[in-house]
Structure 1
Amino acid sequence: MQKSKNILVAPLNWGLGHATRCIPIINAIIENGDRPIIASDGQALALLRKEFEKEEFIELPSYGIEYGEDGQNLKLKMLKDSPKIWMAIRNEHKMLHSIILKHQIAGIISDNRLGLYSNIVPSVIITHQLQVLSGNTTWLSTQLHLHYIKKYDYCWIPDVEGLESLSGKLSQNDDYEIEKVYLGPLSRFKNTNNYQKKYDLMILLSGPEPQRNILEKKLLEEVKRYTGEVLFIAGKIEKEQRFLKKGLLTYYNYL
């Protein structure tokens, strides 16, 4: 009989995409007879707590990622925040050794958290950003990201390789030092023919503030002129689920 293993699964709290694409991975760990130990912070951690109420959770240091109100200054804002992000990466790496010992971790799956590499147990990082396209600073931002990716045993890429890739050149890199595994797209949804059409348009938001909130306000104004049924999911993980029906608009804070 196979002995159950504890696997640390740790998505980055940068919007909800990293957390949601870890859901099928966590389910696969459970189906394999192993035990996920889930680690993150903020809304990503809150979402996974709701999804996996019976599992064990660890709160990690927050990267504190925020976007400026003016999108033109994104690179400047990220540069300004880089010491805070670097410190969070350093602190989560310092925590990792005690987490491995306390929870008897047999392996680590990190979704874009850069400090969870180990020389004690196997570690993989999930990322599609093997090239970080940042305009005239692309070479520098890519090398900084690769510096951390190379600390992991494997890089799992949630995409397909080659011309049919969803993320294009972002997920393509010939660096031979990276052990790349293309997983294909990760989703918790399954294709089915057993459905009924209820809405004409769905708006699904996520991402760091204040830009998420700015976009929400703009889209709520735009849909007033739309003549079909609209499902609006704001991507705000709060204590209670909120629901509002107004004319053709159905609004949820999260689903």
Structure 2
Amino acid sequence: MNLNSDNKTILIAPLNWGLGHATRCIPIIKALQENNFTPIIASDGIALELLRKEFPYLKTLELPSYQIEYAKNGKNFKWKLIKSLPKMLEAIWEEKRIVNQWIKKYKINGIISDNRLGVFNKKVPSVFITHQLNVMTGNTTWITSKIHQHIIKKYQECWVPDVAGKLNLTGTLSHLKKTSIKIKYLGPLSRMHKKTLPIQYDLMVILSGPEPQRGLLETKLSKEVLCYNGNVVFVKGIIEEEQKKEQIANVTYYNFMKTRQLEQTFNESQKVLCRSGYTTIMDLVKLNKKAFFIPTPGQYEQVYLAEKLKKEGLVPYSIQENFRIEDLSQIDKFKGLPQLETIVNWEELFKVFGS
């Protein structure tokens, strides 16, 4: 424990884009506490709801919503995002104003922003977390990447949850040939721990991400898994006040799980069917689980990661509309994700907030 931090208050704010940004902040929040800092959590929507359930004793604050929503047709995703840009920019300016007020009101000594572009202040040390130094948007990747990198340069440091070497998970997403950004590679971040437990489920299905695509995949997979030969646990990724459990034939459904139960269920499952979101990939690395990916339609980053990992012979994938439960037989033909064992020196990392 770092006893020189004088209980400094750190605002940690993940983007509400599915649950990935929130869940990968969980080990950071715990590390802040273990090093004698006082975290204040800020977000909106399901990301904030999840973190409130994980840390009911910590102060939480609500930020404006970016109002991110996927198109029903993945091909229209980019244009729907462009259409919603004015609302997003308005939210970014508003959160910047709110953060300025919070710094005085709550005596905030540092900021950790996970992809929230307005959570920044020149008066306090500010850190940006991302695995997308390059933001993939098809033929506009070059401009979206330049804009994102320009924003990141405002922060004292950029923390990337991957390794710097050639054997890495994100490829060109978070590895630049040349940059003036002060990057620190943390290694894969996960709230999960590998445990040796008896296998209870032949397949674990776990969903996440914004609507309507999360719901569309749930509808599709709810039909497909009934044809699966084995026991299935199906976590829908819907954060509600109370947990709900339902048994239909060979499938056990949950609306959501907290970290401890989710970790146990992962460890009790033989194989995993999920999105190719980066936080899920990091969890699978930590748990040493073989998987099958269905990238979110229209989300270039998830498609890129799925294609990269398949090309490397690690994990198979299918586009959403073509997926059939029989495709899971491909899993055994792939090696599975590499075990990238890294230890984060949190005390050294948190020096950015002063001694």
Same fold (TM over 0.5): yes
Work out which of the residue numbers 31, 39, 44 in structure 1 matches 2:42.
39
Query: What's 1:198 paired with?
Result: 200
The alignment partner of 1:63 has SS state of coil
**5 Å matches for 1:97-108?**
97-108=100-111
- CA deviations on 1:98-145 (whole Å, 9 max, x unpaired) are 111111111111111011121111000100101112111110111121
**5 Å matches for 1:61-210?**
61-193=64-196, 195-210=197-212
Query: What's 2:246 paired with?
Result: 244
Query: What's 2:213 paired with?
Result: 211
- CA deviations on 1:144-170 (whole Å, 9 max, x unpaired) are 211211111111001111322111110
Contact 2:226 2:249 in 1 (8 A): no
The alignment partner of 2:150 has SS state of helix
Contact 2:66 2:91 in 1 (8 A): yes
Give the partner amino acid of 2:149.
L
The range that moved more, 137-146 or 42-51, is: 137-146
CA separation in 1, counterparts of 2:105 and 2:90?
23
The alignment partner of 2:163 has SS state of coil
Percent identity of the aligned residues? 54
The alignment partner of 1:10 has SS state of strand
The alignment partner of 2:51 has SS state of helix
Residue 49 of structure 1 and its aligned partner are, at CA, apart by: 0.3
Give the partner amino acid of 1:76.
W
> Would you say how many aligned residue pairs link Structure 1 and Structure 2?
254
Residue 192 of structure 1 and its aligned partner are, at CA, apart by: 2.5
**5 Å matches for 1:40-59?**
40-59=43-62
Q: TM-score, normalised by structure 1?
A: 0.97
Work out which of the residue numbers 6, 10, 14 in structure 2 matches 1:7.
10
2:53 is the alignment partner of 1:19: no
Query: What's 2:269 paired with?
Result: none
CA separation in 1, counterparts of 2:79 and 2:7?
46
CA separation in 2, counterparts of 1:154 and 1:87?
25
Query: What's 2:334 paired with?
Result: none
- CA deviations on 1:54-110 (whole Å, 9 max, x unpaired) are 000110010000001111101110110111111111111111111111111111111
CA separation in 2, counterparts of 1:87 and 1:159?
31
Residue 191 of structure 1 and its aligned partner are, at CA, apart by: 2.1
- RMSD of Structure 2 on Structure 1 (CA): 1.0
Residue 175 of structure 1 and its aligned partner are, at CA, apart by: 4.2
Q: Which runs of 5+ in 1 are unaligned?
A: none
CA separation in 1, counterparts of 2:69 and 2:137?
17
The range that moved more, 39-48 or 167-176, is: 167-176
CA separation in 1, counterparts of 2:147 and 2:187?
25
Give the partner amino acid of 2:206.
L
CA separation in 2, counterparts of 1:183 and 1:146?
18
Q: Which runs of 5+ in 2 are unaligned?
A: 258-355
Residue 177 of structure 1 and its aligned partner are, at CA, apart by: 2.1
